[in-house]
Structure 1
């Protein structure tokens, strides 16, 4: 091998390494949501085409942030899309680790702050109307397709609806799973002492049982969705084979925890939902718990939450490697999308 050939090979390797190491591009935007008569803030993560301002996104005293190239160019190419829906009381920032990881692998990821079920904009009485979240994500896809920087770079054969917790239900709903109002109300009534949030959902203030069954049970599928990834999804109780009959086949279910750590409200095994989705790929992590899907915590994060009497989102079960779990989730979703 001569000197010129060797030099060119080393330059090629260096360029490829830099491309892999480059943080994902990130744009902050807002999307009109006519069904809410307001706009929703959103993040768009994408393959970095160069430029942009390097920043650490979503960092705070408790959580580690994520490297991002703010307003970088979009790398030339055609990419799959992931529409990501956060959990009840969460934000588009909470799973930035996932959005950035998928964008670095070659996806465009849109996350929306859902009206009335986002931290800082929380109203369970309105937020429990689960269909409005599916409409949010469909509007987000419309906006992405209309965007001059992204619309021409979308592969319509790879459009994934994804979400965590309540957002996991949103993703399944977009993929064609239909709600069962009688079933979820009955499950909450039966397990009101043990199932998380059921006391609030059945309270006079929220009155989930008083919602119109026709609205709860209707289809909110978006025909453009080709894949679903639901991470510890909510509202998984009380479903029947009829509710699952119209769900698309490309479904990835991700569950957290073993017998002692599993959140009952999101236990798709105990609820029977997993048995209805015989074609789904199922990935279970044990040890872990529901909040293992939250960002990596700083060393002082756990103590801060204890002092503030907040949820123990940094206290994983013994033996949990949160970083490794995150990597495995990114790998599984990327594999579903052919990345």
Structure 2
């Protein structure tokens, strides 16, 4: 066998480790009072006609093979937590791109604060949000046939808005309900303050539960995307966070979610050597969500006046361009924090279709 042949074979193998993203949905903890709807994206060696996932008349979906067999080998895992009133589709663009890097990605709908379940009783159990992600983590690790074998030393979590608060809890941030409510007397304009009763933060049981330590040592890195409720975290708990944290904030922020008071609060107290802070050019709070279709604003306004803002971005950058920048920052941070080298760049097999 010639040296040239060996070199060509090696290059080909390194560029075609897998060529598709696979996807499946499941419901876990069905017999519990809090069943969880979960979406999984993961790499696969299988080929076929991809389907559009998470598409509707307003938002664009992404392409993936449904129920395909997971690729062999150990894979890093990324947990995703959506914001208040959101769902697993909100960060579908990020999930697909991370799966192409070799990650297993798991997103959950949090009961009470998701699009399809805003029951007051569920919403007022805010302390269960971090536990939702832990239940998903247990399920994915214990059942590799679902999305592949998890590399237990390479597990991370990311969340948008209230999801950012959720993943900071897993990193060790401790929430003080009284501190939060006292601060809201000075910053009543903050969107989190307007949710105090909705989320049950003013109830004695919630105050006790929220004060408990929700840190999960399996989480090795965290990404916060324009989070809210940050000012309820105890400064000493933020100072004691030991895992790397990427803090991303909208440059085109608002009075309801100002970067200075929310993401900036994390920057103030998390040790500098364990954080990276980025203001995302052209991004509003909703730029982190999935792509809107043409005409989406009119459709949303017809159904729920005022909510068309979810499709608005700031400055001259398109949401697609903002997403490209976000993915570059997030993937670089996670790959570095988890000491992970993706087996290939991009998706060369898909480009041949």
Into which bin does the TM-score normalised by the smaller protein fall? 0.7 to 0.9
More displaced 10-residue stretch of structure 1: 61-70 or 245-254: 245-254
The answer as to 2:23 corresponding to 1:26 is yes
**Equivalent residue of 2:89, what SS?**
coil
Relative contact order (alpha carbons < 8 A, sep ≥ 6): 1 or 2 greater?
Answer: 2
Displacement after TM superposition at 1:234 (Å): 1.6
In structure 2, the CA distance between the partners of 1:31 and 1:53, relative to structure 1 (3 Å rule), is: farther
CA distance in 2: counterparts of 1:78 and 1:154, whole angstroms: 5
Aligned equivalent of 1:201, options 164, 187, 196: 196
CA distance in 1: counterparts of 2:259 and 2:116, whole angstroms: 24
1:72 equivalent in structure 2: 68
**Equivalent residue of 1:208, what SS?**
coil
The answer as to 2:331 corresponding to 1:334 is yes
CA distance in 1: counterparts of 2:98 and 2:291, whole angstroms: 17
CA contact (8 A) 2:227 2:263 kept: no
More displaced 10-residue stretch of structure 1: 316-325 or 148-157: 148-157
CA distance in 1: counterparts of 2:148 and 2:69, whole angstroms: 14
CA distance in 2: counterparts of 1:11 and 1:224, whole angstroms: 34
Displacement after TM superposition at 1:116 (Å): 1.0
Aligned equivalent of 2:218, options 198, 208, 224: 224
Displacement after TM superposition at 1:16 (Å): 6.8
2:277 equivalent in structure 1: 282
CA distance in 1: counterparts of 2:24 and 2:48, whole angstroms: 10
The answer as to 2:251 corresponding to 1:257 is yes
**Equivalent residue of 2:50, what SS?**
strand
The answer as to 2:300 corresponding to 1:305 is yes
Q: Which runs of 5+ in 2 are unaligned?
A: 343-353
Aligned equivalent of 2:204, options 198, 211, 223: 211
Aligned equivalent of 1:174, options 154, 170, 175: 170
The answer as to 2:284 corresponding to 1:293 is no
Alignment of 1:11-90 (within 5 A): 22-32=19-29, 37-51=33-47, 54-90=50-86
Displacement after TM superposition at 1:64 (Å): 1.2
In structure 2, the CA distance between the partners of 1:313 and 1:206, relative to structure 1 (3 Å rule), is: closer
The answer as to 2:216 corresponding to 1:248 is no
CA contact (8 A) 1:43 1:92 kept: yes
CA contact (8 A) 2:43 2:102 kept: yes
Could you give the per-residue CA deviations for residues 221-260 of structure 1, whole angstroms, max 9, x where no partner exists? 11111111111112111444312133223111111124x6
Question: Once superposed, what is the RMSD of the aligned Cα atoms?
Answer: 2.9
CA distance in 1: counterparts of 2:11 and 2:313, whole angstroms: 42
1:324 equivalent in structure 2: 321
1:138 equivalent in structure 2: 134
Displacement after TM superposition at 1:53 (Å): 5.6
CA contact (8 A) 2:225 2:247 kept: yes
Displacement after TM superposition at 1:298 (Å): 1.2
CA contact (8 A) 2:36 2:109 kept: yes
CA distance in 2: counterparts of 1:208 and 1:26, whole angstroms: 35
CA distance in 2: counterparts of 1:284 and 1:240, whole angstroms: 23
